[in-house]
Structure 1
Amino acid sequence: MRNTKKAIYFYLLLFIVVVLPANTLSQEYKYEVGAATGTSFYMGDANKTKLYLHSGISGGALFRYNINFNWALKANIIAGNVSGNSEDSGNFFPFDRNINFSRTFTDIGTQVEFNFLPYSDNYSYLGTKPYSPYLFTGVGLTYASGENSIFSANIPLGIGFKYKLKNRINLGVEFSMRKLFTDNFDLLDNPYGIRSSTLKNKDWYSLTMIFLTWDFSSRTDPCHGM
């Protein structure tokens, strides 16, 4: 009986020391802040399938809260531009309607990220890696200026890869598609006169961004995931 109790205490201690920290322990720093730059392009009635057609330049800032090795919350503000020409679409619009447009947009949003690998340049005994691919999604708002300016909610869907250049410095790249809740981003609002659902027949824009961030706000008790 005494040996059984000792065994229970041993495995309980092992769970507390090894298993529990693997699930709750986070990086040494709670937050990241940095900048991002890259390219943007549009997809919609005037561009159904071609990636990076008439691509523009984008840039902005981001803030990330690292919950633990695998999960993070991110906020961003990004400005960029996109353009398009309906003659590139391969479609024929009623009344020979063609549009050549250019948009400058601002994107403000927040996303939740999932790292496929436990991301940290320390705690290698827990299997952490200084790199990881990740997925993200969230919600955002888009304002696009120019002719018939718009303001719309968006849903970002993306994938990325991050790498610890050194302690407190992160380098990464990510690709995302932003689903808009408007069909007027390309100035071709319902060109065929057929109304559709909220999700169908809406415009998208895409961001491919390279970012560099700096960690700050040290965790006072990292062994307990504080």
Structure 2
Amino acid sequence: MRPFLPIVLFLAFSNLGNSQSEEIGVFGGGSYYLGELNHGQQFYKAHFTPGLLYRYNLQDKRWVLRVHFSYTKLEASDADSEIQSNVDRNLNFQTTIIEAGPIMELNFIEYEIGGRTKFGNKNKNNGTAYIFGGINFFHMNPKGTLDGVEIELQPLGTEGQGSSQNSNKRYNLNQISIPFGLGIKFNLGNRLALSIEYGLRKTFTDYIDDVSGTYVDPEMLALENGTLSAQMANKSIDGAISVGQQRGNSSNKDWYVIAGAILSYRLKKATTCRKW
């Protein structure tokens, strides 16, 4: 994540000297995770998500370039599942997520904070719906709990990564996601606007929760990756697992959702566009 942050900040602030159609803003909302430990429960274990953003409104007032930074937490536990096999599996995780990246917004109609636009014969548009999509760089660090103690899971190789039982390397904690979603934005005055949006993050990793493949031989795992690795790999209630038994579903990658509100401030007073 660190190599990307200076680039993102440079893109965000390099054009501040020409602020005729630029905004800065703060985000506040919530996040939740979708994956092996939560198959579809909306807003499950949601956590507060703060963020900062910069918008550059293009001349047509429909397209908007946005660069953002946000911080949140994701977590889930098999103990909350309605599926008995998941309850028996008895895994849990939590991770912080630090994300940043560029996003393009498409306003449904011409819009800018405090601006006057023309749409057919209608006058000033004080708001619009919009859709968005882009690319995120994010950092994760999944942890599990054992006897009330949080333990970092990636170094342990709980599915045999880095051992003779799994040829794959330990997964990377820096990842890419595709954010997309929809929202509405409307003026609060000549310089302020409020946006409300719902956004999904499609990731390309199945290890936000450290659960993806199958169980490996616990004795060999303890020998090669350590006793703690074997303990965190198999926390099932009855302790009985077989080598090759499904632990997760590697064909479905993990997702997460961030939804909330944006309060944005226009850096220079809007001008009235010409009438057609």
With normalisation by structure 1, the TM-score equals: 0.76
Partner of 1:106: 98
Matches within 5 A, 1:119-198: 119-120=111-112, 121-126=114-119, 127=122, 128-145=124-141, 146=143, 147-148=152-153, 150-191=173-214, 192=246
SS of the residue 2:79 aligns to: helix
Cα shift readout 1:21-63 (whole Å, capped 9, x = no counterpart): xxxxxxx931110111111100001111110011111101001
Aligned length: 193
From 222, 247, 256, the counterpart of 1:205: 256
Percent of aligned pairs with the same amino acid:
29
Cα shift readout 1:123-175 (whole Å, capped 9, x = no counterpart): 34444511111100111111112423522100011111111100121111111
> Gapped runs of 5+ residues in structure 2?
1-18, 144-151, 155-172, 215-245
SS of the residue 1:29 aligns to: coil
- Residues 193 and 40 of structure 1: is their aligned pair in 2 closer, same or farther, counting only changes over 3 Å? closer
Partner of 2:227: none
For the residues of structure 2 that align with 1:208 and 1:29, how far apart are their CA atoms?
28
Higher strand share goes to which structure? Answer: 1
8 Å Cα contact 1:108/1:140 also seen in 2: yes
From 242, 251, 267, the counterpart of 1:216: 267
8 Å Cα contact 1:171/1:212 also seen in 2: yes
8 Å Cα contact 1:79/1:105 also seen in 2: yes
AA matched with 2:128: S
Partner of 1:37: 28
- Residues 129 and 168 of structure 1: is their aligned pair in 2 closer, same or farther, counting only changes over 3 Å? same
Give, in angstroms, the shift of residue 100 of structure 1: 1.7
